[in-house]
Amino acid sequence: MSFIDLKGMLQPLGAVKQLFKKPHTIQYPYETNKASDNYRGLHFNDLDQCIGCGNCSTICQNDAIDMISLDNIDGKKGDSGLRPRIDNGRCCWCALCVDVCPTGSLNLTKDYIFVTDNPNDFLLTPGLDNPDAKDRLSYTCDMNTSLSLYDRVPMRELDGKERVKSFAEVVLGYSEEEARAEADRCISCGLCTEACPENMHIPEYINAIARGNDDDALRIIYDNNPLPEMCGKVCTRVCEDVCALQVRGEAVAIRWLKRYATETAPTVEMIKEIVDPKIEEPNGFSVGIVGAGPAGLTAAYYLALKGYDVTIYEAQAHAGGMIMYGIPKYRFPLESIDKQIQYMESIGVKIKYNTKVGKDITFDEIYTNNDAVFVGIGLQNPWNIGIKNEDSPGVISAIEYLKIINSDETYDVGKKVAVIGGGNVAIDGARVSARFGADVTILYRRRVEDMPADWEEIEGAEHEGINIVPQAIPTRIIKDEKTGKVIGIEYLKAKMVAEDGGRPRPVAIEGSETIYECDTVIGAIGQQADFDWLPENYKEDLIIERGKIQVNDLRQTGVTKIFAGGDSVKYGNSDAISAIADGFNAVKGIDKLLLK
Amino acid sequence: MVREKETTLYIGPQHPGITGNMMVKLKVQGDTVVSAATHVGYLHRAFEKLIERRNWIQAFTLLCRFCVPEPDPMELTYARAVEELDNREVPERAKYIRVIVMELARMQSFMLWYAGQSGSAGLYLTPQWSVGDRNYILDLFEDLTGGRIYHMYIWPGGVRRDLPEGWTDKTLRTMDYIEKRLDEYNKILFDNTIFQKRAQGVGIVPKDKAIEWGVVGPVLRGTGIKSDVRIDEPYEVYDKIDFDVPTQEGGDIWARALVRKEEVRQSIRIIRQAIADMPGGAYYNKVSNPMKWTVPAGQAWAKTESVRGEIGFHVTSDGGNKPYRVHVKGAAYTHGVTVLEKILPGQNIADVSFILNSLGVCPPEIER
C-alpha cells in the first residue's frame, strides 16, 4: 500500500464553498436565456420583400427548402409567386440561405425552442406561419455580409465630349475578363427568362460565359434569337428590370453579356461555324414575309431552318426595319446589321429589297403564291404633336429625322433643337442632333423618373450635354412671320397631380408660358402602323383594332394563312425583343398550320 | 496461480466514455485486458462522399460534423486547403479572428475533455464545473457566429462575420474568469490524489513507438516529443504570437493531462495577444458568387493543430464547382484504432474508458 497524500485527499473538499455561489444554470422559469443578437434560430421571411427567386432553396445543402405557391401571393414580372417553406426536420441552421438571399427578406430569429405534437408543424412557411417573429430577428444579412455580388462591372464608354463629335459606337463592350466577372454575379434564378418576351435562356448562356464557354453561350443564344447582336446592343432589356440583384444592388448586365458573346464571333463564317445551324431538308412549303424588321427576320430564320422556302419583301434598300432606320448608328452600327443579315441569307433566307408591297408587288400575289404569309410591318407613321404651326418647315418627327440620317442623307437642324417626348426615340433624336453640333433640349410632360426611355440612354444624353426639361407641356410652335420657319416653341410648366392614388398626371400651371427659342422641333410622341398597302378585303378579315392587328398566341390573324408580329400587332411591348418573340411564335403557328 | 477463463466484453457502442459511437471488443482474463479490437461503423454518414456532391461553399457546412467537441479546426483546415488551390488571399484581420476562434475551440474542447476524463475516473464534480464553464465560451461563440456548437464560421476567403461590438471585451473578461477557475480545477482534479493514482503509469504510449504509431498532439507531447503544427509549420498568424508548447515525460494519462492543463493557459495567452494585435479592415475576401465558384484543378494538403493533434485535409479539385475529393485525416484514426489496440492489453477493465478519453478519440472522424 503506497502512501496516501492527506492534502491531496482533503483539498478537493474545499469545493464545498462553491455552494454559496450563484450557479451557472438558469433558474427557469424565473430566469430565461437571452439569445444573442446573432443567433441562428427558426426562419422568418418577409413575404412582401421576397421575390421567390429560389436562391435559398438552391444553396440549401440539406434540401430543406421547397419553393411553394401561397394563396395570397400571385406571380408577376420579377416575382415567381413562390415562397420558401422550410422543413425544420432537415434544416441544419447553417444560414447559407440567409447569406445568399439577394433581397435580404430571409432571416433567422432568436426563437430557441419549438415544441409541437404535430409532425407536420416541422414544415414552416416563414413569414406566413410566424408573422410575429419579425420582431425577433437575429441572424440577418446586409449587403456587406451577403454572398451576392451587388456591384456591376462598369461598362467602358467613349467620353461624353468625345462621342458627340462622331457616330462612333459609344459603348465599347466588355473584355473577356470583365465579362467573366459580370457573368459570375448571376444567381441563375431565371426571373429574367420569365420576364423576357422571347423567354431567352438567360441563366444558361450567362453560366456558359462564366465558365468560359463562349461558343456554348452563342449557341444557346441563337436557339431562340437570331438577332443577338442587335439585342446585345439596343434591347430594352426588361430582364434586367426584374433581376433578383437589382432589388438591393445592380442588375446583372444581361444585355452587355449577350453583346460580349456575339463579339466572340466577329464574322459571318465564325457565327456559322460556332452555331452550326441544322437546316432541314426542304419541306415543300413556302412562306412570304412582308417587312424585314426583327419580327420578319426572326420568322424567316427559323422557317428557313425548318426547311421552308422563305422570301421577305422589304420596301427599303436595307433590311432591319426600325433597327436599321430608327436606331442611331452610335448605338447599333451598320456593320452589325449587315453581319446579321448576311448570316440570315447564308442559311437560305431570300430578301427582295426595294419591293414595296402594294406598289412593286401586290399582296394578293404574295398571298396566293405562298402557303402562309407573315406580316411584320412595324409602326412607320409618326403621331402628330397636335399643336399649332406643326406643319411649319423646321418641324420634323424623330422617326423621319432618324431615317434620313441613317440613310446617309442630310437634314440641317440648325443651332438649337427642341425634342418633344420622353421615350427612346426622343433620346435618339436628341443625341443625333447633338452629334451635328446642335444645342439640344428635351421637353417632357412628366418627371425624369417617369421617362419611358432606358435609364442608360437618359444618362448618356446628359453626359453629352443634352438638357432635359421635365414637366413641360408644349402649347404652340412659334414661326417667323416672313419665312414661315420655326423660331421657337412655347410650353407650359406642369405640376404632377395624383388622382385617386393613380399614376401622377401632369397638369399645366396657368400663366407659366415659357418660350424656348430653337431652329428645329423634333416630335417623338409615338408612331402608328401604315395599312394603306393592304387591300380592303384583307383589312376587314385581319381585324385591326386601335391601329393594331389582332392575333392569337401563335400570332395567327383572323385570316388562317396570315400571321403577324412586331410593333403592329397587339402582343407585348413595342420593342425589338417582343417582335422577335412574335416571329418565333409565328413559326410555331405556321408549323402547326402546315405540318399539322 | 490459477489461469482464469478468457471472457469477451464489449465497451460501447453507446458512447464508451467518449463522444460518438464506437465499440471496443475486449478479451479479458479477470480484470485484465488480454486483447482489444476497435469496431467502428455505428455512425458512418459518408461525409467525404457527401462533400463531393456539394459546391465549395455548401461543403463547408458539413465539416463541423466530423467532430462534435471541436468543429472549428475542420472548417479552418478545409478553408486553408481551398484557399491554397484557389490562390485566395485572406485578410489579415480574418487571420487573427481565426486564431482566436481556434484557441476558443481548444479551450471549450478542453473543458469537455476535462469532464470526460474525470468522469471516467469516477470524479463527478469536475464535469459539472467544466461543462458549466464551457458554456461561457459557447456564449462567446453564439455572439460571434450565431451557433453554440456548430459554428460554420470559418470559410474559404476569411470568416463569415466581423466581430460583434463589445465581443473582444467580453472575451477578455471570460478569459480572466477561466484563468481563475483553472486554479480551482487544479485543487479538485490535478492535486487530487485519487486522480493522480488513477492516471500515473496508466495507458503508457512509449516514446520510442509514438512516432512510428502516428501519434500526434497532446498524446505525443506527453511522451516528451515537442511537436505542434502551430510551431513547426505556422499558419494564419501563429508565427507572430508568443506562446509555449508544453511537453511532459512519461507518456501516461497523467503526462497527457498535464500537457492539456498547460495548453489551456497558453490558449488564453494567445487569445489575449491576438485581441491586442488585431488589425482593422476586411474580414472576408469576397471575390466570387458561391453558386458559380469554381476552384482551379489541383491538389492541396493543409494541416492544423486541433486539440487532439494534427488534422489534415487533402482536397482535390478537377476545376469544377464541387470538390472532386476531400480526404480527412484526423488524430482519432490512429489514436482510436492503432494506438488503443496496442496499449490496452495488460490494463485493467476499469481503465479502458479512462484511457480512451485521454487519447482524444472522436469516432465520427474515423468514419468519415
pLDDT in tens, B21-63: 888 999 999 889 999 999 888 888 888 999 999 999 999 888 8
From the list B129, B147, B184, the residue facing A40 with the nearest CB is B147
Cβ of A59 within 8 Å of Cβ of B290? The answer is yes
The C-alpha atoms of residue B26 and residue B28 are separated, in whole angstroms, by 6
Mean pLDDT, rounded, of chain B: 90
Cβ of B188 within 8 Å of Cβ of A11? The answer is yes
Cα distance from A524 to chain B (closest Cα, Å)?
42
What residues of chain B, 181 to 220, have a C-beta less than 8 Å from chain A?
184, 187-189, 191-194, 196-197
Cβ of A37 within 8 Å of Cβ of B143? The answer is yes
Determine the residue among B291, B295, B322 to mutate to test chain A binding: the one whose Cβ has the most chain A Cβ atoms within 10 Å: B291
- For residue B291, the chain A residues in CB contact (below 8 A) are 55, 58-59, 100, 187-188
- Cα angle: A441, vertex A444, A447; to 5 degrees: 120
Q: Residue B2: what pLDDT?
A: 58
For B327-361, write each residue's pLDDT tens digit: 998 888 888 888 999 999 999 998 988 898 898 88
- Bond into A29 cis (ω within 30): yes
Q: Residue A311: what pLDDT?
A: 94
Assess if residue B155 is contained within a domain: yes
Q: Count of residues for chain A?
A: 596
- For residue A56, the chain B residues in CB contact (below 8 A) are none
- Contacts for A159 with CB less than 8 Å, ≥ 6 apart: none
Q: Residue A53: what pLDDT?
A: 93
Which residues share a beta bridge with A507? Answer: A495
The C-alpha atoms of residue B111 and residue B131 are separated, in whole angstroms, by 6
Cβ of A92 within 8 Å of Cβ of B147? The answer is no
Cα distance from A362 to chain B (closest Cα, Å)?
55
Cβ of B61 within 8 Å of Cβ of A96? The answer is yes
Cα distance from A3 to chain B (closest Cα, Å)?
10
Assess if residue B38 is contained within a domain: yes
From the list A12, A145, A184, the residue facing B161 with the nearest CB is A145
Cα distance from A100 to chain B (closest Cα, Å)?
8
Domain count, chain B: 1
Q: Residue A564: what pLDDT?
A: 92
Per-residue pLDDT at B20 exceeds 80? no
Q: What is the DSSP string of A378-428?
A: ---EEPP--SBTTTSTTEEEHHHHHHHHHTT------SEEEEE--SHHHHH
Cα distance from B10 to chain A (closest Cα, Å)?
31
Cα distance from B190 to chain A (closest Cα, Å)?
9
Could you tell me the CA-to-CA distances from A156 to A172, B12, B220 in Å, in that order?
6, 67, 60
Q: Which of B167, B16, B189 is nearest to B100 (CA)?
A: B167
- For residue B144, the chain A residues in CB contact (below 8 A) are 38
Determine the residue among A19, A33, A38 to mutate to test chain B binding: the one whose Cβ has the most chain B Cβ atoms within 10 Å: A38
* DSSP element (H, E) containing B317: strand B309-317
Cβ of A147 within 8 Å of Cβ of B191? The answer is no
Domains and CATH numbers, chain A: 43-136 (3.30.70.3270), 160-274 (1.10.1060.10), 279-379+532-595 (3.50.50.60), 382-527 (3.50.50.60)
From the list A7, A24, A96, the residue facing B135 with the nearest CB is A24
Per-residue pLDDT at B70 exceeds 90? no
Cα distance from A149 to chain B (closest Cα, Å)?
7
Contact indicator for A173, A272 with CB cutoff of 8 Å: no
Which residues share a beta bridge with A312? Answer: A289, A351
Give the lowest-confidence range in A116-125, A425-434, B76-85, B212-221: A116-125
Please give the interface size between A and B, counted as residue pairs whose CB atoms are below 8 Å apart: 108
Contact indicator for A390, A511 with CB cutoff of 8 Å: no
Cβ of A11 within 8 Å of Cβ of B187? The answer is yes
Q: Which domain holds residue B129?
A: 6-366
The C-alpha atoms of residue A262 and residue A335 are separated, in whole angstroms, by 13
Backbone φ/ψ region at A284: left (φ over 0), alpha (ψ -120 to 50), beta = left
- For residue B161, the chain A residues in CB contact (below 8 A) are 38, 145
Cβ of B61 within 8 Å of Cβ of A40? The answer is no
Task: Reduce the DSSP state of residue A286 to 3 states and report it.
Answer: strand
From the list A36, A61, A188, the residue facing B143 with the nearest CB is A36
B135 touches chain A (CB under 8 A): yes
Cβ of B61 within 8 Å of Cβ of A39? The answer is no
Write the single-letter amino acid at A145: T
Cβ of A37 within 8 Å of Cβ of B164? The answer is yes
Cβ of A38 within 8 Å of Cβ of B288? The answer is no
For B276-291, write each residue's pLDDT tens digit: 999 999 999 887 888 8
Task: Reduce the DSSP state of residue B323 to 3 states and report it.
Answer: coil
B132 touches chain A (CB under 8 A): yes
B160 touches chain A (CB under 8 A): yes
Assess if residue B1 is contained within a domain: no
Q: What is the DSSP string of A559-575?
A: STTEEE-STTBSSS-SS
Q: Residue A533: what pLDDT?
A: 86
From the list A61, A93, A147, the residue facing B147 with the nearest CB is A93
Cβ of A5 within 8 Å of Cβ of B193? The answer is yes
Residues of chain A with pLDDT under 70: 1-4, 572
Question: What would the grid cell of residue A293 be?
Answer: 424588321
From the list A18, A36, A149, the residue facing B142 with the nearest CB is A36
Helix then strand count (H, E) for chain A reads: 21, 23
- For residue B140, the chain A residues in CB contact (below 8 A) are none
Question: What would the grid cell of residue A496 be?
Answer: 404632377
B292 touches chain A (CB under 8 A): yes
Q: Residue B1: what pLDDT?
A: 53
Cβ of B160 within 8 Å of Cβ of A99? The answer is yes
Contact indicator for B278, B223 with CB cutoff of 8 Å: no
Q: Which pLDDT band, with edges at 50, 70 and 90, does B166 fall under? A: very high
- For residue B142, the chain A residues in CB contact (below 8 A) are 35-36, 38-39
Q: What is the CATH number of the domain that holds B118?
A: 1.10.645.10
Determine the residue among A56, A93, A98, A147 to mutate to test chain B binding: the one whose Cβ has the most chain B Cβ atoms within 10 Å: A147
Task: Reduce the DSSP state of residue B262 to 3 states and report it.
Answer: helix
Q: Residue A1: what pLDDT?
A: 42
Could you tell me the CA-to-CA distances from A560 to A283, A287, A307, A538, B319 in Å, in that order?
20, 13, 21, 12, 54
- For residue B152, the chain A residues in CB contact (below 8 A) are 94-95
Could you tell me the CA-to-CA distances from B35 to B9, B11, B253 in Å, in that order?
11, 13, 20
Cβ of A11 within 8 Å of Cβ of B139? The answer is no
The C-alpha atoms of residue B83 and residue B154 are separated, in whole angstroms, by 12
Contact indicator for A375, A290 with CB cutoff of 8 Å: yes
Determine the residue among B61, B148, B195 to mutate to test chain A binding: the one whose Cβ has the most chain A Cβ atoms within 10 Å: B61
Q: Residue A170: what pLDDT?
A: 87
Determine the residue among A3, A13, A91, A96 to mutate to test chain B binding: the one whose Cβ has the most chain B Cβ atoms within 10 Å: A96
Pick the residue from chain A with its C-alpha nearest to B165: A37
How does strand A486-497 pair with strand A505-508?
Answer: antiparallel
Assess if residue B238 is contained within a domain: yes
Centre a 10 Å sphere on the Cβ of residue A260 and count the other Cβ atoms it contains.
23
- For residue A184, the chain B residues in CB contact (below 8 A) are 288-289, 292
Cβ of A39 within 8 Å of Cβ of B142? The answer is yes
